[in-house]
């Protein structure tokens, strides 16, 4: 199966040019090193509607992984999970739990979610480069099989 991914950075700071997108770049590097093809990168401001619209747009006609970075904490504008839940078809609680368990201290502060939208898996990761890659690594091995199931391709159980 072809492994395609898209990366969405959610950050007011990146949008306004006051912060570099280091977490988006770290995700692209990790995905590429793991054999995935990153077909698109995007950046949106924090907020439920901006995140929901961006994820919906990225998922249109796409089969693969959509990884968000940023907006999963407790700050007032950290609304990535709410925007994600507004558009996903089904939650994938096991993926979100596995991502949180990678860091016993800071993982407890992540509100990130995971789920499916059509033939896509959507993962929310934190805005720090280390945290984003750590969370992605926690589930990366399970994603090809999950995507094959979503695409209704034959799989071995």
Confidence band (pLDDT; 50, 70, 90) for 57?
very high
Q: Is residue 94 part of a domain?
A: yes
Confidence band (pLDDT; 50, 70, 90) for 157?
low
Q: Is residue 96 part of a domain?
A: yes
Q: Is residue 50 part of a domain?
A: yes
Q: Residue 72 belongs to what domain range? A: 4-150
Q: Is residue 157 part of a domain?
A: no
**Model confidence, pTM:** 0.96
The CATH number linked to 61 is: 3.40.980.10
- Give me the number of domains the chain comprises: 1
Q: Is residue 155 part of a domain?
A: no
- pLDDT score of 109: 81
Assess whether pLDDT exceeds 80 at residue 23: yes
For 98-120, write each residue's pLDDT tens digit. Answer: 999 998 777 778 899 999 999 99
> Nearest 5 degrees, angle CA 119-CA 122-CA 126?
170
Assess whether pLDDT exceeds 80 at residue 156: no
For 129-155, write each residue's pLDDT tens digit. Answer: 999 999 999 999 999 999 999 988 877
């Amino acid at each position: 199966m072809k492994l395609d991914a898209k990366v969405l950075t959610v950050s007011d700071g990146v949008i306004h040019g006051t912060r570099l997108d280091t977490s988006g770049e770290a995700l692209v590097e990790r995905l590429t090193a793991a054999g995935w093809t990153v077909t698109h990168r995007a950046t949106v401001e924090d907020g439920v509607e901006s995140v929901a619209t961006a994820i919906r747009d990225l998922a249109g006609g796409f089969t693969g992984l959509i990884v968000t970075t940023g907006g999963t904490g407790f700050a007032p504008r950290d609304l990535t999970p709410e925007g994600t839940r507004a558009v996903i078809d089904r939650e994938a609680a096991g993926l979100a739990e596995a991502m949180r368990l990678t860091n016993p201290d800071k993982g407890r502060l992540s509100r990130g979610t995971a789920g499916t939208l059509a033939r896509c898996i959507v993962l929310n990761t934190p805005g720090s480069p280390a945290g984003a890659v750590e969370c992605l690594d926690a589930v990366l091995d399970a994603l090809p099989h999950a995507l094959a199931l979503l695409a209704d391709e034959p799989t071995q159980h």
